[in-house]
Amino acid sequence: MEKYDFVIIGSGASGATVAEKLSSNYKVLILEKGQHLSLNEAHKSYVRTSQNKDFGKHGGVDILSGTAVGGTTLLAIANGVRAQEKELKSLGIDLKKELDEVERDLSIKKIPENMLGGRTKLFIEKAKELGYDPIIMPKMIDFKKCKSCGKCNMGCQFQAKNTSLYYIEKSLSKNAELKTNYEATKIRKNGKGFIVEGKENGRHLDIPAKNVILSAGALDTPKILNNSGIKTPKRLFTDIFVTIGGKIESSFKDEIQMACYIPFNDFLISPYYSERILKILNEKNIEVRRDNLFCIMIKIKDDPYGQVSKTYIEKSCTGKDAQRIANGVAIASKILIKSGVEKIVSTEASGAHPGGTAPIGITVDNNFRTEMGFYVCDASILPEAPGAPPVLTLMALGKKLGYNILNST
Ligand SMILES: Cc1cc2nc3c(=O)[nH]c(=O)nc-3n(C[C@H](O)[C@H](O)[C@H](O)COP(=O)(O)OP(=O)(O)OC[C@H]3O[C@@H](n4cnc5c(N)ncnc54)[C@H](O)[C@@H]3O)c2cc1C
């Protein structure tokens, strides 16, 4: 006899949101591989594919993610934009109501003018002189608590950043259960229901459920699907990014990162402070400090060309990706040069928005259901790279699945 109506594997952007919706009417268990960290300890949850054995042999794009309750949202820079709304609508998935709800839940607002830092203002000024029109970034931040430390990607020591922990706390208050340090490995049929196989603190534990929602993120969901007998396509994208920058004759204070951006067809550029650039310049014997560094991130909508296999993750730049990066670098360089940067260096390619490994139309239908009858809801189901911050959309997809299930029963 199953104790749970729904077992949700993964507590990140989509998993936490669907858990919150369903726990109003159902008995829900959330399984999470990581620990329950507070926001100021979130940096402990970082996972990078560059830490993997033989990383260099598998394309060389370093993919960043987070393993903890709340998933990668704990590390997010709090950018909250509507990504892929039109593309998903064309597949019959209208997210308008759900996006509105997430924006309300997480108080998503543009950064107030008086909180824009010196680098952002310089970026806006020089970009405008070149004929571009930067947009102020909407953020999931309580600006009354924010101290503009610029360290959202480490968590938040001021508890100002809104993350999936909001939905986890709401789920728990509605009697959902949460099991941490549980790594799901496989889902199998069990009569009309399912059994989730996995390990809790290293010890095998099977958990029966009437239904299962797999939300382990685009790097882990395909592994569980493959173990369960569902083949997944080699369509991994990551919104590849590089940061370029150098030294200028100014002294900047710390500030909110990616506070504005300029969107283009298949890339965006945004001011972003990078420790890696500081290190590269120091290695070249260019004396630069934290306060006189000026950098711009170029983030592209990359080709869905990569894969998660049993033993490795492979992701490289295609020729088109290289062209997209070059186009972005050309524009960002103009802004840097106009701002007074003489020697520009670049980071290696990374990616922080993995997706596409169980896409709608291939692995799941447009109700996010697999051929075995359980659901997948996370960035894996996005059919193409957003080329923009996806969290808001992934949370809206979680709500959508929640509503669909509530309305069908
Ligand atoms: C540094 C950084 C900054 C970012 N900034 C932004 C931003 O500002 N705005 C934005 O929109 N996006 C941002 N992103 C991207 C965004 O955080 C992710 O795209 C999003 O969180 C992905 O959601 P998800 O539900 O697919 O997976 P996740 O949020 O990664 O959640 C998956 C969860 O499943 C758990 N899990 C994995 N495997 C198992 C298993 N076998 N068993 C149990 N649990 C498992 C994981 O531990 C994790 O908690 C950023 C990413 C990074 C790395």
Percent of residues, the chain, with pLDDT higher than 70: 100
CB neighbour class for 181 (10 Å; exposed up to 12, middle 13-18, buried from 19) = middle
From the list 90, 132, 89, 106, the residue with the least C-alpha distance to 271 is: 132
Distance 65 CA to ligand 1 centre (A): 6
First to last CA, the chain: 20
Is 376's C-beta closer than 6 angstroms to any atom of ligand 1?
A: no
From the list 165, 162, 164, 171, the residue with the least C-alpha distance to 30 is: 171
Q: What is the pLDDT of residue 53?
A: 87
Is 218's C-beta closer than 6 angstroms to any atom of ligand 1?
A: yes
Instruction: Tell me how far apart the alpha carbons of residues 38 and 44 are, in angstroms, rounded to a whole number.
Output: 10
Distance 14 CA to ligand 1 centre (A): 9
Q: What is the pLDDT of residue 398?
A: 98
Residue in the block written with tokens 């007074």: 340
pLDDT band, residue 317 (cuts 50/70/90): very high
Is 293's C-beta closer than 6 angstroms to any atom of ligand 1?
A: no
- Span 352-378, mean pLDDT? 98
- pLDDT, tens digit (0-9, with 9 covering 90-100), for 155-208: 999 999 999 999 999 999 999 999 999 999 999 999 999 999 999 988 999 999
Is 67's C-beta closer than 6 angstroms to any atom of ligand 1?
A: yes
List of residues 6+ apart from 251 with CB closer than 8 A: 291, 292
H runs (alpha helix) in 228-384:
275-283, 319-338
Q: Quote the mean pLDDT of the chain.
A: 97
- Span 342-366, mean pLDDT? 97
Distance 188 CA to ligand 1 centre (A): 25
List of residues 6+ apart from 168 with CB closer than 8 A: 11, 16, 19, 20, 30, 69, 70, 178
Percent of residues, the chain, with pLDDT higher than 90: 98
Distance 139 CA to ligand 1 centre (A): 17
pTM of the model as a whole: 0.97
| Type of residue numbered 48 | R
- Domains 4-108+155-232+355-408 and 110-153+236-351 in one fold: no
From the list 271, 300, 252, the residue with the least C-alpha distance to 124 is: 271
- Domain map of the chain by residue range? 4-108+155-232+355-408, 110-153+236-351
Task: Report the length, in residues, of the chain.
Answer: 409
- pLDDT, tens digit (0-9, with 9 covering 90-100), for 265-294: 999 999 999 999 999 999 999 999 999 999
Is 215's C-beta closer than 6 angstroms to any atom of ligand 1?
A: yes
Distance 337 CA to ligand 1 centre (A): 35
Helix/strand/coil (H, E, C) string of 353-406? CCECCCCECCCECCCCECCCCCEECCHHHCCCCCCCCCHHHHHHHHHHHHHHHH
Q: What is the pLDDT of residue 409?
A: 74
| Type of residue numbered 255 | E
Instruction: Tell me how far apart the alpha carbons of residues 364 and 331 are, in angstroms, rounded to a whole number.
Output: 38
Q: What is the CATH number of domain 4-108+155-232+355-408?
A: 3.50.50.60
- Span 344-365, mean pLDDT? 98
Checking if the pLDDT of 2 tops 90, the result is: no
Q: What DSSP element (H or E) covers 119?
A: helix 118-129
| Type of residue numbered 314 | E
As beta bridge partners, residue 8 has 30, 213
- pLDDT, tens digit (0-9, with 9 covering 90-100), for 48-100: 999 998 898 999 999 999 999 999 999 999 999 999 999 999 999 999 999 99
The torsion region of residue 239 among left (phi > 0), alpha (psi -120 to 50) and beta comes to left
List of residues 6+ apart from 156 with CB closer than 8 A: 39, 40, 42
- pLDDT, tens digit (0-9, with 9 covering 90-100), for 286-313: 999 999 999 999 999 999 999 999 999 9
Ligand 1 atom closest to Cα of 389? 11
Q: What is the pLDDT of residue 102?
A: 98
Instruction: Tell me how far apart the alpha carbons of residues 321 and 304 are, in angstroms, rounded to a whole number.
Output: 10
Q: What is the CATH number of domain 110-153+236-351?
A: 3.30.560.10
pLDDT band, residue 1 (cuts 50/70/90): low
DSSP-derived secondary structure letter, 336: H
